């Protein structure tokens, strides 16, 4: 579990929207890193958050959009002593039928998130899918 580097008085909710374009992944990663740093997470947890957001947004682009014109919404906020991230897309979540094998080239994104984050939830909404994951701030 990570340590707080500082004790921020208040972490203000932050959000961004990007086109469902793989070329925008770097922007989402850097945004997530800034949010984690501002929330006071240590370097290790900041890296995990950055990687988790990258995986979540890449999945939203690949599986939750029909093209580059679709929008991916990303938000970060503090709740119950955790830094919470949400990634929204316009697709419909379909649970994998089986775990990825050693020979599979993809299919490990959600599993990776569950290893790095303290909580991971995915749900379908009326407008698409919502992936919510969090990292403890203590």
- The correct CATH number of 15-94+107-136 out of 3.30.565.10, 3.40.440.10, 3.50.50.60, 3.40.50.300 is 3.30.565.10
> Which position has the higher pLDDT, 127 or 40?
40
| Signed CA dihedral, 125, 109, 75, 2: sign only | positive
pLDDT of residue 111: 84
For the chain, what is the mean pLDDT? 85
Instruction: Tell me: pLDDT of 6 over 70.
Output: no
DSSP state of 87: E
Q: Where do we find the tokens 């290893």?
A: 115
pLDDT of residue 127: 85
Give the C-alpha separation, 16 to 9, whole Å: 22
Instruction: Tell me: pLDDT of 53 over 50.
Output: yes
Domain boundaries, the chain: 15-94+107-136
**Could you report the per-residue pLDDT of 32-52, keeping only the tens digit for each?**
999 999 999 999 999 999 999
The answer to whether 33 touches 41, Cβ cutoff 8 Å, is no
pLDDT of residue 8: 47
Residues paired with residue 136 on neighbouring β-strands, in sequence order: 82
**Could you report the per-residue pLDDT of 83-114, keeping only the tens digit for each?**
999 999 998 756 555 555 555 455 557 888 99
pLDDT of residue 133: 97
For the segment 52-72, the average pLDDT, to the nearest whole number, is 91
Query: In this prediction, what percent of the chain has a pLDDT beyond 90?
Result: 62
Give the C-alpha separation, 22 to 67, whole Å: 11
């Amino acid at each position: 579990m990570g340590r707080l580097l500082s004790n921020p008085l208040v972490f203000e909710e932050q959000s961004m929207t990007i086109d469902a374009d793989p070329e925008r992944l770097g922007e989402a990663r850097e945004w997530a890193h800034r949010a984690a740093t501002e929330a006071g997470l240590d370097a290790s947890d900041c890296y995990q958050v950055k990687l988790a957001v990258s995986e979540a947004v890449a999945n939203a682009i690949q599986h939750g959009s029909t093209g580059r014109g679709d929008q991916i919404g990303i938000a970060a906020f503090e709740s119950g002593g955790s830094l919470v991230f949400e990634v929204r897309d316009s697709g419909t979540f379909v649970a994998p039928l089986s775990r990825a094998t050693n020979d599979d080239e993809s299919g490990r994104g959600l599993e990776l998130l569950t290893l790095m984050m303290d909580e991971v939830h995915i749900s379908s909404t009326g407008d698409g899918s919502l992936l919510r994951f969090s990292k403890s701030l203590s």
